[in-house]
Amino acid sequence: MRIVSISENKKIEKRIAITPEIAKKYIALGLEIFLSENYGEHLGFKDSEYKELGVKISNNEKEIIENADIIAQLGLLSEDKISFVKKNQILIGIFNPYSNKEKLQNLIKDNINIFSLELLPRITRAQSMDILSSQANLAGYKAVLESFASFEKAIPMMMTAAGTVPAAKVLVVGAGVAGLQAIATAKRMGAIVFATDVRTASKEQVESLGGKFLTVQGAENLETEGGYAKEASEDFKKKQEELLSETLKKIDIVICTALIPGKKAPIIIKDTMINNMQSGSIIYDLAAIQGGNTAFTEVDKIVDKNGVKIMGETNILNKLATSASSLYAKNVFNFVSNLYDKENNKININLEDEIIDKTLIK
């Protein structure tokens, strides 16, 4: 049984799906590993390090893919490389089935089994495979660091003989995994932190991290059975806008994390709200790639609106690629372990297993 991975387009994606630490675990499980040449070189993982573990390295990506049982990647293979994938092979990665629907359906027609890990159910048994949580956790942390680096004032309160520097005020929009990590990071660095979320269950989590939860009066609980946020009613949106408008007048840094799976990100911070913010404030929009939570977000640009800087990147995790790869590789290994029948040396696509059923694209 052979698991393989080839290099991603590093301009877009620097993370990798198999680290040396995890390669050792696959080999112990009884799997063969083939990787493309210089696979992890950019992260400091040399080919020699993989070879010492028993990993095979090749510069022929076509051959690697054609002879694979399992292909583990971050994103969907490019058009030229996807043509090498054959019947009954297994593709595992983050394939964004909402925007890649047509490409994925064409692969399914060719009897290729595709598992998209962002579709994992939110159940206890799937926690060790939960790529959304592991990657969002790092994204929330890095968003705070990026915004603080661009903020031209001190973050913690500082009392000096010359006077007192007040602590920066941070608002986190969306208290999912990324938002909660953003709250914890900002708090550790001495900021005063506020947070808002459409899911009322978030209040306790926010407050446990030392943040102040902004509650919309008469708020409804907008949480799906799977633990994700769902779209708010017009009445809720109006009340939320009023609360945010007032809050943003005194906020220095905003971290936006609000996403709805498979849909364009909701615009939460409107142009009028930004006009009322203090000059020098920062908005870091983690939802930029899905359209952004502000009216002016542009991917990979710093937009200046009346002195307020709005930032958002295609892939913030490229700035933490080693840590992100380490966690992602573990998630994938745990998923493969659940899929692999070691005793019979075969893949068991058991659709009675909720993890397998939910992630398999049909």
In tens, the pLDDT along 195-235 reads 998 888 899 999 999 999 998 765 555 555 555 555 667 77
**Beta-carbon-side half-sphere exposure of residue 167 (alpha carbons within 13 Å):** 13
Say whether both 177 and 80 belong to one domain: no
Res 131 pLDDT > 90: yes
- Its domain, for residue 180, covers 151-314
CA distance 187 to 258: 20
Say whether both 294 and 214 belong to one domain: yes
pLDDT at 68: 97
Condensed to tens digits (0 to 9), the pLDDT of residues 337-351 reads: 999 988 888 899 999
DSSP state of 229: B
190 assigned to some structural domain: yes
**Beta-carbon-side half-sphere exposure of residue 117 (alpha carbons within 13 Å):** 31
Domain count across the chain:
2
Helix (H, G, I), strand (E, B) or coil at 336: helix
Condensed to tens digits (0 to 9), the pLDDT of residues 25-72 reads: 999 999 999 999 999 999 999 999 999 999 999 999 999 999 999 999
143 assigned to some structural domain: no
- Domain-ending residue, one of 314, 332, 349: 314
CA distance 28 to 111: 29
Say whether both 164 and 310 belong to one domain: yes
136 assigned to some structural domain: no
Say whether both 303 and 204 belong to one domain: yes
Say whether both 95 and 186 belong to one domain: no
Say whether both 251 and 184 belong to one domain: yes
Say whether both 308 and 326 belong to one domain: no
**pTM, 2 dp:** 0.91
Condensed to tens digits (0 to 9), the pLDDT of residues 70-127 reads: 999 999 999 899 999 999 999 999 999 988 999 999 999 999 999 999 999 989 999 9
Say whether both 204 and 292 belong to one domain: yes
Residue 285's DSSP bridge partners are 256
Say whether both 7 and 118 belong to one domain: yes
Say whether both 30 and 112 belong to one domain: yes
Q: Provide the annotated active-site residues.
A: 122, 127, 130, 133, 228
Say whether both 165 and 193 belong to one domain: yes
144 assigned to some structural domain: no
Condensed to tens digits (0 to 9), the pLDDT of residues 265-299 reads: 999 999 999 999 999 999 999 999 999 999 899 99
Angle of helix 131-150 relative to helix 321-339, nearest 10 degrees, comes to: 170
Domain with residue 336: its CATH number is 3.40.50.720
Residue 340's DSSP bridge partners are 347
Say whether both 221 and 300 belong to one domain: yes
DSSP state of 95: -
DSSP string, 283-313: EEETTGGGT-SBSS--TTEEEEETTEEEEE-
340 assigned to some structural domain: yes
